[in-house]
Amino acid sequence: MNRVAVFGGTFDPVHNGHLMIARKLIDRFELDLFVFIPAFHAPHKPDRKPTSAFHRFAMLALATEAEKKMIVSTLELEKGEPRYSVETIPELKTIYQGWKLFFVMGADSWSDIRTWKEWENVLLSTNHIVVSRPGYEIETGHVTGAVRDRIIDLRAEARTLESESVHDSIYFTDLVFYNTSATELREDLSDGKLDREQDLQKEVAKYIEKYELY
């Protein structure tokens, strides 16, 4: 069975941490495809208007151009309105019918999962991969027993995918621990100069400079 992981977010801008997550998960979960899904506007981030969808899509396209197993989807951008994961996941399951689908989120999203619309349905509707992030503990006390029963903790263990359940599961992984954020990069770029060049792909940095995005 083919395997696909989807990673949603504003990607404002996409940075090397996002790409490292994709590369590591492609290898660890033996993925055939990794799909970035830029949000039109994340419903749980109503206070900040993101950079235009066109620019965020273009930056993702530049960042993934050389990556054979990575693509950028316009699924949410085409809707032209904020979308919830509980709405997007059924569409993805239709698009990738017959594939094993993994929904990727960071430890920050896992910590805030109870703020998501129909959050328990989201977690029980497909496979999930929760990726470690500095400053966030991956805990389980805030979720229901039904969700906890789906968890397979791959952190600090040499567990293989042979440990997978036949049912949809939630995988905790510490494969990636990249200490940067899009918020920090926007602040860095706000004076028109990028100090943390190691955090952005060169093509993306040039694009940001050309169009003076931040």
For 104-127, how does the pLDDT look when each residue is reduced to its tens digit (9 = 90+)? 999 999 999 999 999 999 999 999
| Closest of 82, 167, 151, 154 to residue 110, by C-alpha | 151
User: CA 156 from chain center: how many Å?
Assistant: 22
Show Cβ contacts of residue 137 under 8 Å, excluding neighbours closer than 6 positions: 107, 111
In this prediction, residue 65 carries a pLDDT of 97
In this prediction, residue 187 carries a pLDDT of 85
| Closest of 4, 5, 10 to residue 77, by C-alpha | 10
Show Cβ contacts of residue 166 under 8 Å, excluding neighbours closer than 6 positions: none
In this prediction, residue 103 carries a pLDDT of 98
In this prediction, residue 190 carries a pLDDT of 81
> CATH: 3.40.50.620, 1.10.1370.30, 3.40.640.10, 3.30.1370.160. Which one for 3-178?
3.40.50.620
d(CA 199, CA 214): 15
d(CA 112, CA 180): 19
Contact present, 59 and 204 (Cβ < 8 Å):
yes
pLDDT in tens, 152-185: 999 876 566 655 566 899 999 998 877 788 888 8
Low-confidence ranges of the chain (pLDDT < 70): 42-48, 157-166, 194
As a whole-number percent, the residues of the chain with pLDDT over 90 amount to 72
Tokens of 137: 């503990």
Q: How far is CA 106 from CA 2, 16, 20, 103, 132, in A?
A: 23, 15, 13, 10, 6
